[in-house]
Structure formats: C-alpha cells, structure tokens
Structure 1
C-alpha cells in the first residue's frame, strides 16, 4: 500500500515553497516535495525564508518550515497532467514568525485561472479562528481548456503574500453526477419535480470532511492516493441528541462504488440514534456548520448499513437548512444488499438574510410514512463543498 501511494503521489506536482532542493517527507508516505522556483516566471522577485519557530503541532517540518514570500504580484505556471479532468489544489499555510516579516501584516489575494480563491486574506486571522498553528485550503478546480495552470499571489497594499506548500493532483471523477437541489421535491414526495444542479463547470472548495461516528482518518489511510483528511464529527453535532457511535462488525467491500470515493475505514463506523423508539420519533440527529453566505454548497452523504437485511427496516428523511433533500431514504432498498457503501449529493443555497445565514444545518429524522420496522437513522460520512458563484469567478469568503 505504501509503495502504491508513493507511485500515485509521484505522478502529481508536490512543491515545498521556498526550498532549494528536493526533500522527502518520511513522516507520512515518503512523498518527495520539489522546490517551486522552476514554476515562477523569469525575473520573479519573491523571497525564500525559513520559519523561526517550529510549532509542536506541525505534522512535519515539510513543507511548513520554509516559505516563499511575495512583496509584489507573482504567478506560478504549473503544467497540468490532465486538463480535461478536475484538478485538486491544496495550499499549505503556516503563519509563523519569519525573518524581517510580521505575519500579522500579511494580507493577499490568490487567483487561479481567473477564479478568486482568496481575497484580502489573512492567514494569521484564519489560523487564530481555527485555533491551529497551520492549515490547508483545498480546492477542486473545474476542467480547463488550457494545459497550464496559472496561480497568482497578489499582496494587498503595503503588505505581502506567502505560501508554504502547493499540491496539484489530477483527479478521478469524484463528481460525475449532478446533485439534487434541496427543497425541490414536490408535495407528496413528488420526485419528478426534483431539480438537478449542473456542477461540471463549478470550482469547489472543501469546507468539511467528516468520519461520522469514527476517529480521525489520516491522509496516508485515505483511498485513491488522494491524501484527504477525515475528521471526527463530534464537534459539529447539534443538540443533546448525539446518538450512538457504532463500529461495524462485518466485512465491507466497495461493490461497485469506486474506491477513490472514500476509504473503507469511513464505512466501518457510523452514528445512529440508538434504541429508544419514542425518543427517536420525536427528535433528529443533527449537525451544524458555519459557512460563508451567498454561496451554494454541495453536501455529500456517505452510507453503509451493516445491520439491515431487507427493505423497510430503517427509513428516514434528510433535511438541509430545514429543506427536505431526500424523503424515505431506505439504504437496503437503494443498494440491494447489506454492508454496501453508497453516496448521494445534494446542494443548498445559503443566503445572507438573517443572523443564522452563516449556518448550514444537516438533520436526519426517522419517518413513519412507510411503517418501517425501526425508528432510526444512519450516517457514516459527510463532506461539504462550497461552489463558485454564478459567474464561476469567486470562491473567496470573509476573513474569520
């Protein structure tokens, strides 16, 4: 497994910004990070620096202990391995102390292929809001008609930009089906009225990626060589009804779902409501997320029911921001077998209208319409992605 990961990673562009040599990160999968200088234009006036402090929370000194600082606009030019597919872009930031630069004075914008990813962005404020020393911004860029990707850093007035690491990964078809608009199902569960939202031309930012009912899954344990991090969901559960976290005790196989969608570890744990039928019928299992208003969000649900052995045993409804996304979800009826991973995608518009407009709610509620055997719900994993605006030119949100 380790050798296959190294092979996959070597096919992509992994850059340790500010470094002058190839460096191998032995802390994860032995990834070789290459210097970034060859991708900058002739006459570039950026500066390579080393961090003065190594925070103990850093997973590795690579790529975080070196940085490239821009005091004027600069552009990377990266060759795309396959411009006809989506490209996964990760930007690594460690807003620490660098010689002759006050990181709290750093404000900048980042633009890729005409799309603004960050605008007047402060990595220092972002890290403070996250209570983290470092963080990663992750984007899924739409297919391009050009073989080269231009990544531009624009310092704000009397400021500077910086970056510690850049990853460019050619993506498998993670988003090959148009999601359903939450709230578009008609009266009486009329699915003929459901509206599918085309997303092929949308750029996307990863906002949340959760292993529901389970522990943190490290990038080296991800599937497809994509090196994604899957986080514990407990911080986002809303209300006293947090359900029960369960470890499956049966063998799970993909059975038609591409393995790169998510690691099997994600499908081996889940959260359900528990055995108290009367309580379950009058409550939801809910999660609450803070997001940027005036964007659409794609919400991906991951399921693998390792308990039910026939249809109409566990049936539930899905709500996103109090809009019904799916009614009478019966995972066994969907898959036709036990312990079979499956996913569904839905989108919702988050508008800036009230004090709650920066929140995205996900709620699962058992339905009694089908007289199911059990009053319960189930969820294994959850991903939330911000979609670029209608002009497909902006993903930037406010500093937090």
Structure 2
C-alpha cells in the first residue's frame, strides 16, 4: 500500500513539496540552523529564587539566589536585597524584568569564563521596588578592565511610556589570565542605589569584528579609517558598546532567530524623512552563498531584505537615502554595513554602482556589491571606523550614513542603491579629550606611557579647578537664595550645564515644582505627545496660572541641543504670533519646558485631527486669519530678529491657537540661525524636519535657507484648503505628498475638486484665485522661485481683503459653473501662475497674458488702496 502511494506522487508534486519545505527552512532559520555554537553562555535572572523561561523564548534564565555567580564575598556589607517590581506594564516580559537585585552599596557578580570575546548584555526595568525610589537609581557598572556604564541614570533612560525596559550590550575580551569576570555595580552617591534585573553573557567568534575581509598588502589587520588615508589598527581586547543594530528594510529578528549569539536585529528607525518611496526589497526564497563571510555574521533574513530607492532613475538622482544615528561625540565608532544583491536584473559588476558617505565624508566612490561579493545572493560586509569629534554643542551628535545614486549613467546600469543592515559600535570606555592629539587605538607600551604623561597632569589641573569652583559656589549658596526657594547656585548650575541659558528672561522651575504642577506627571494631564516627549497641562503659582509643560522623554530623537535651542530662541524673541516661553527645568537629568497654555490646541486638530468638532468646523475666514497670523510669526523670525532664524519644522501641529483664536508658532527645537551676510544664502546642515513638509531642494543639497520654511508653509496652506494630511495614503497603499497632489490638480485644472467641502460654499472666487497663486509659488521645486515670507504674508492679507470685498464680481465658487475653467481661463496652467517680488518688499501677484491682462498689486499701505 505504501508503495502504491509513492508511485502515485507526480514529479511536479514532489518538486513543489521540496521547494516549499526548503523555503520554510530558509525563512525561519537561514541557511544554517546553528552556524555558531557559543562556548560560554549564561542567562542570569537577578532577584529570582527559581529558574524560569521567558514567554515565547524557551531559554532558561538561572536564579541568582545562592548562585555561584553571586558569592557572598562580593556582597559588600551584605546589603543587597531582592525585590519584585511593584507594577509592571503588560508589554514587559516577566523574565527577566519582574525581579531585581538592588543595593545602596557596592555589589559584584563573578563569572568563570574561557578566554576570548564575549557579548555582555545587561537588562534593567526602571520601576518602583520595595523601599527603592526609581528616580534615585544612579550607578556605575565596571569590570576589572572596563567601565561599562558610568553614572547611569536608570529613570532618565527608562521613561518610555510603552516599556521602561533598558538593555545595554557590550563586546568585551577575556584574556584567560583572570579566573573570573567580575561585574561590579556601584551607587553614585549615598542617596542613590544600584540594581540589575538580568545579565546575559555569550561568547562570540574571536574574529567577528576585529578581522577585515582581506588583509592589506602588509598582512596586518586594520579597518578603513574614514577621513584618513591609512588603515586603523585595532587590538582584540578593546571594549565596545553596541549602540545600533538595525535590519534595514526588514522585520525585527529576535535573539532565538540569530546565528547562535542571540543578538536582536531591530527594525530601522533612523531613516531621515527625505526619501520619496517606501522601497523595501525582499527575496525570501533566494539561497544564500556564504563564500565571502562566515555564516554566523548575520541571520539569513538580514540578507534577504533591504532598502532601495524607487523605480524612477531620474528622480533617484535628486535625493539620497540618509540614516542619522545620535551618538556621543569624542569617541571612535565602528560601522558595519551589510550587503547582498538579490534583485532580478542585478547580476554583473557595474549593474548597480553607488556612493556611500559616512559622517558627511566619502567612504566609497563606487560601491559595487556584485564586484565586492563576486555574484548575486552572496552576503558581504564592509567595516569602517571614524572618530566623532568633540562638539561645542551639548548632547549627542548625528552620525550619518548616506547612500547616493550614481549621477553618472555611464558608470552604472541601474541608478539605485541597496543596504541590508547597519551595526554601530562605540569604542573606549571614556571620551577622548578634544585638546589631546588623536591617537590610534592600538598603542604600543611607550605610546601608552606618553599618553599617561599627558593625561595625569591634565587630570590634576581639572581636579584643582573643580575644587575651586565647588568652594566658590558653596560660599555663594550660603549667602543668597531666591524668594521662591530656588537657590541662586542652582540657577548658576543650570546655566552652566546648558551653556549660557538666559535665566534672566525666563523663570527656572525646580523638579519638585514641576511634579506639583502635574500631579507627579499624571497621565491624566497629558494633552499632547510629540517627538520631544509628552506635553502636560499644569498649574503654577498656587494654581493661579495654567501652563503647558513639555517633558523630554528618554530616547527622544530630540535631545539636549534642541532643549537648549528652544530656550535660547524663545527667551530672546517676543512676538504676538510666537509661543511664549515661561520657564524651564533642568534637574536630575530631567529637561522640561513651560509655556503659555494654548487652550484651542493645534491647527491640525481643527482641520482633520482627532479632536476636530464636526459641528463647528473652521470657516474659510478663520482659516485665512490663522494663516496670516502664522505667516506674521514666521516673517518675524526671518526678518524681525537680529539674525535670520529658520524654523525648520513648520507644520500644522506646531501652529497653536489660544482661547481667542490668536495664532502662535511653536516648537523651536530644530531652529537654525541663518545667513548673516549677503555673501552667504544657505546654511549647510543635516536634513531635519517632518516628512511631507520637507523642502525637496533642502533634501537634495543639504543647504538650508528661509525658503525652506516657505515651502513647509506652502504645505500648511494646502492642508488648510483641503483638510488633508501632508502625506496621503492611497487605496493601493502608495504614499502621495499633498503638495505634489495639489500641483497635479492645478495642472489638470481640477483644483476645486479637492477643496474641503465644509468651506467650498464660503470662498469667493477672486480670493480663491489669489490663494492658489500663493500656494503654487510657495511649493515651487527651486527655492529661488519661491516668495519671501513677507510677500506671502502680504499676499494672504490681500486675499483676505478680496474675501471681504462687497464687489459683485467677487462671487462665491458655488455660484460659478466650470470654476476651474474660469480659474485657468485663456489657456492658463500652473506654469503661468507666479508671484513676483521686488526689492523694496512690495509684492505683485501677476497673471500672464493668458489671464486677459488682469494684474493685482499689493502695496504696503493696504488702507490707502
């Protein structure tokens, strides 16, 4: 009977079954089920009295109670305790995050390990434990050779409302001379404590990071040093921290899906809002050939997914794919880029050749993955190292990775790029002083002695100066304090910490005052959530004044630099249409801004946001006045301040309304001081802003000007007219930019079909025609063709006058047949609409000859007209 069943199977059926099973094996576990078997593997569940497995993981975490890894000799004073988190989010795994070991004195874990490189992963859950305040968890973590964490503030890093969990991953080297790897946790001061929820140690192949693919001609090991012409020597026993590991264009890859080292490959989250297509390529069925790199380098699914550009070769030349990673300045960083060509048609050298820039420096002028790897479906990696120099600005700096399509068609068959994954590692356990020479990481004994000879006197000088400053500040504190209980020393300390923050123009609030104002940051008081963090409604001055309180969240893409920029900008700017900064708080790693409360919220919420009141939509006249107010605020930034200020994040969520419908432009964290002389029209900077509002010329050239704000404001005008978001998702899930959609409807003479139906019956014809002129002019591709914000403001005022006019000719759109034919009569198209400006700040809105010679002029003296 069995023989009969076998005979009845056809060849296609057998082949299909084999291929299907092969596909499943590839997509689940890659081409090798376990390409690396670690020699050391430890999972320690700290604070737990039993061995447990995490849900969906099946790995067993060993209890540290009476464990050989926590000998009593290392528990100084016997003061460490175990405790369970008082509350735990449903999104947080019980293992290893439900229990912790905590202590107000130093304690140590000890691990017997073989020689070689190891991953050390530390797991923390910032929560309240019995008798331990989560806000006082500040500590350091060290081994005998390395400092893993210094003055680590757990609450500042764990305030993500969705989680609160923290993972720190390190690559360390055990030389085998010591019997144990000791990991010591030390509280920062007598009032703080240290804690740990889980420790994972897993060995890695010794040459995973430190051996390049091909030795140089001298046979020595080295990495390509960005910005330098020589190789960078790196010794095996140097510690690094894993700061980013992203599966570009692909899904999250969990530890059990890794190649035996239990790494997590996250989804990409640092792609700048400058790309035009969500072009994530995938080929899950391709059989990978690990002939150039070991199979444990990365899981197979890393090399089966990637991000590329869209299909339009001409458009691909106009923008770049850029990822920006916030890192600490003053450190060396290793970058590993993963590549694998799997797309149809890309099979030979020269098919896809592109450029790679790292930190705005050329890394590869002709990146050709096929040429590097030797063929299609062959994974490959490229390693680089660079020093991120110290910055005058506080906080993190962006380490950028930019892929640029080759502008020379003769050098590539496809004008496109590809990237599969990015790994970034921070080297050294202390920053490199900016006033010392930059030395290679691999040092000889003599060079180390020279370094010590330089560093020791410098440290002595710093300590002496520090003691003097401390003594002077303490003396000054004893002599004076403010009436509100905040000492002048505290103000000075804050000013020093944030570098010249102008406390004389705005108030300083203590963290205690902020907690009282928001009922300890109760979620009930949250009125908004943004890139900076949560915005709370609060009350100060014993409840007499209602304010908006913006609190920086841990892991926010906007950090200390944006915080300082916001304070410095708003404390020196005063205008009716700019939001007013009342004060700030910078204490215990909390960064908080306090503003006037805008009770009517954002412009977006009244157009299409969640809080829109369908019964009372904004009228057309209200929308015009709001646009005029916002334009006045931006015009003041561009021309009214001492220097040109470019807002850089103009959007409907940053246009606020008070209880009298007065408009206030807000959120100056990304603002930039523009050109100060007539010889410089642009400021070169990394692209920042919000997708849908970004000036396409700014994205292409990385050169910022006030005309970038004009473009963004043009998108706002499109939203006001259409009541649609800046990025429209179509039925086929393709994203369309609102600005491009409006321009297309202007070209096709269908613009009236996309007007918000709630206001279509209110708009007078001549006002509408004027408004469309302004919109089209603002969203021109080239900045030089756009009007100034002053011209935009005056144009909107003129449009408002036309709306109010009692002239019989100013009929409403609803009273006309074939409105678009009227608007574009005489063969007029969007190319015939322009707004010309003159040097004396008068502006003219000109219709070309196709418009029967109608010319409308806008003079400064509106009432005189």
The reply to whether TM is greater than 0.5 is yes
Which of 393, 414, 424 is residue 374 of structure 1 equivalent to? Answer: 414
Find the aligned partners of 1:10 and 1:160 in 2 and give their Cα distance.
34
Find the aligned partners of 2:48 and 2:317 in 1 and give their Cα distance.
58
Residue 57 of structure 1 corresponds to: 91
| 1:79–1:242 CA distance, 2 compared to 1 (3 A) | farther
Is the contact made by 1:208 and 1:384 (CA closer than 8 Å) also made in structure 2?
Answer: yes
Secondary structure at the residue paired with 1:278?
Answer: helix
Task: Determine if the alignment matches structure 1 residue 261 to structure 2 residue 293.
Answer: no
After superposition, what is the alpha-carbon deviation per residue over 1:49-96, rounded to whole angstroms, capped at 9, x for unaligned? 1112121111x211111100021111211111x22x111100000011
Residue 189 of structure 1 corresponds to: none
Task: Determine if the alignment matches structure 1 residue 99 to structure 2 residue 117.
Answer: no
Residue 188 of structure 1 corresponds to: none
Find the aligned partners of 1:9 and 1:23 in 2 and give their Cα distance.
21
Residue 166 of structure 1 corresponds to: 199
Residue 277 of structure 1 corresponds to: 313
Residue 180 of structure 2 corresponds to: 148
Task: Determine if the alignment matches structure 1 residue 359 to structure 2 residue 398.
Answer: yes
Find the aligned partners of 2:58 and 2:240 in 1 and give their Cα distance.
26
Which of 273, 280, 283 is residue 248 of structure 1 equivalent to? Answer: 283
Structure 1: gaps (5+ residues): 185-192, 393-397
Residue 127 of structure 1 corresponds to: 158
Find the aligned partners of 1:310 and 1:344 in 2 and give their Cα distance.
19
Higher RCO (CA < 8 A, seq sep 6+)? 1
Secondary structure at the residue paired with 1:56?
Answer: coil
Higher strand share: 1
| 1:242–1:340 CA distance, 2 compared to 1 (3 A) | farther
Structure 2: gaps (5+ residues): 1-27, 213-221, 433-440, 443-559, 561-588, 591-865
Is the contact made by 2:40 and 2:201 (CA closer than 8 Å) also made in structure 1?
Answer: no
Task: Determine if the alignment matches structure 1 residue 309 to structure 2 residue 353.
Answer: no
**How many residue pairs were aligned?**
381
Secondary structure at the residue paired with 1:386?
Answer: strand
Find the aligned partners of 2:347 and 2:405 in 1 and give their Cα distance.
18
**Greater CA drift, 308-317 or 353-362:** 353-362
C-alpha displacement at 1:366, in angstroms?
A: 2.1
Which of 318, 323, 332 is residue 296 of structure 1 equivalent to? Answer: 332
Is the contact made by 1:25 and 1:33 (CA closer than 8 Å) also made in structure 2?
Answer: no
Find the aligned partners of 1:28 and 1:368 in 2 and give their Cα distance.
47
| 1:110–1:330 CA distance, 2 compared to 1 (3 A) | same
What pairs up with 1:192-203 in 2 under 5 angstroms?
193-203=229-239
Residue 225 of structure 2 corresponds to: 181
Find the aligned partners of 1:227 and 1:249 in 2 and give their Cα distance.
21
Is the contact made by 2:339 and 2:419 (CA closer than 8 Å) also made in structure 1?
Answer: yes
Residue 386 of structure 1 corresponds to: 426
**Greater CA drift, 165-174 or 381-390:** 381-390
After superposition, what is the alpha-carbon deviation per residue over 1:150-177, rounded to whole angstroms, capped at 9, x for unaligned? 1111001121100000011111131122
Find the aligned partners of 2:230 and 2:365 in 1 and give their Cα distance.
11
After superposition, what is the alpha-carbon deviation per residue over 1:73-124, rounded to whole angstroms, capped at 9, x for unaligned? 11211111x22x1111000000112111111111101111231111111111
Secondary structure at the residue paired with 1:261?
Answer: coil
Structure 1 length as normaliser, TM-score?
0.88
Find the aligned partners of 1:129 and 1:298 in 2 and give their Cα distance.
28
Higher helix share: 2
- What root-mean-square deviation, in Å, do the aligned CA atoms of Structure 1 and Structure 2 show? 2.6
After superposition, what is the alpha-carbon deviation per residue over 1:2-27, rounded to whole angstroms, capped at 9, x for unaligned? 9x77x957951110011122223343
**Greater CA drift, 165-174 or 22-31:** 22-31
Residue 60 of structure 2 corresponds to: 31
Which of 256, 261, 264 is residue 229 of structure 1 equivalent to? Answer: 264
